[in-house]
Structure 1
Amino acid sequence: MSIPTQMSLVGFIASPPELHFTKAGDECCRMRVGIEQWRKEVDGSFTKLDPTFHDMVAFESTARETYARFRKGDSFVATGYVHEYEVDGRERSVIKEEFVARKIGHNVNKTDYSVQRGRHAAERSLSSVPQLPAVGLWSGAVVSEAPQVLCRSYTGCGSLLRVA
């Protein structure tokens, strides 16, 4: 069985993300992205070239999260596909393309961040578990102390990414 793969795009946000709505009322986030370009030289070294710039779009929940979490200059990794469309020009129609991001995240190689596990983990405080009377038998020995246990009420799953 082969590993399922998808097209990906690695770059940086070149313009502030803009949140729009489709005719059906769904969220649509549009932005310009830059892709770094490198040329391998004969001696094996690499020369950095000017970046290329492209349109990127995300829809629905990906649009909401992209708009909320990304700023101009952020490095990203996105999976999705290239969408080609035709635009009427003055003299003739022009074929344009945009990358449609199905999933997007910050590039871990270029972004300092910390992950907080669980939705809204930062808003929940640790609370003590009520202590029971500390008397019990275990293997013939009397246990007189129950360990102090801290727990966190856990009502959701997912993770919250906080970028520094």
Structure 2
Amino acid sequence: MSTKIPINIAGNLVADPELSVGESGVAHAKLRVAVNQRVQGADGTWQDGEPVFHNVSAFRALAENAATSLKKGDPVTVAGELEFRSYEKDGERREARRIVADTIGPDLRFGTAAYQRSSHAAVTAPAPQVQAGREAAPVEPEVPAYNVSLKGPVFLPHRGQAAGNQISF
């Protein structure tokens, strides 16, 4: 029996993500995230509390992208479902918990990131048309437009540049 609870956490990766591929061909990444709570002492100073360690599982493209993009020490945010499982091992009843991630991303409070769309994403540019002959002009695929709501200006590359969907803040 398992119970699933929606959860969002922000913490640091304790180790590099471990990527594996199951027998069915589905990619699975295991991450371990430490979350430190800040505690105010009696004298008014702030200190790190006891860390809580979470096991995080990601599957398919999310697993591949997390393993490629993240490394030990990176600040991350994770949204998903907290899953509690009970099982028997050596005749003893045990319990385990993990977060099954829906999304994982860098925590931008502590740094910057450049987004790059992967080739296996759901939204792709149409394939360029092939034309024969000397006078055939090269045809560039259309770059998808993004709606981004930010406090500051956003600079998008011109259509003629091959910038690869990067957004600068």
Q: TM-score normalised to the size of structure 2?
A: 0.61
- Matched ranges for 1:102-141 at <5 A: 102-115=102-115
Structure 2: segments with no counterpart, 5+ residues: 1-5, 120-157
In terms of Rg, which structure is larger? Answer: 1
- Matched ranges for 1:1-164 at <5 A: 7-42=7-42, 44-115=44-115, 151-152=159-160, 159=165
Q: Which amino acid aligns with 1:51?
A: P
* CA RMSD after TM alignment: 2.9
**Which whole-Å deviations, capped at 9, do the CAs of 1:14-40 have from their partners, x for residues lacking one?**
011111123321111002111112223
Structure 1: segments with no counterpart, 5+ residues: 1-5, 121-149
Count of matched residue pairs = 124
Cα distance in 2 for residues equivalent to 1:7 and 1:95: 19
Q: Secondary structure at the match of 1:62?
A: helix
Q: Which range is displaced more, 58-67 or 22-31?
A: 22-31
Normalized per residue, the structure richer in strand is 1
Residues 114, 166 of structure 2: 8 Å contact kept: no
Q: TM-score normalised to the size of structure 1?
A: 0.63
Cα distance in 1 for residues equivalent to 2:106 and 2:73: 11
Residues 75, 106 of structure 2: 8 Å contact kept: yes
Identity of aligned residues (%): 21
Q: Mark the CA change 1:23 to 1:84 in structure 2 (over 3 Å): closer, same or farther.
A: farther
Q: Which amino acid aligns with 1:66?
A: A
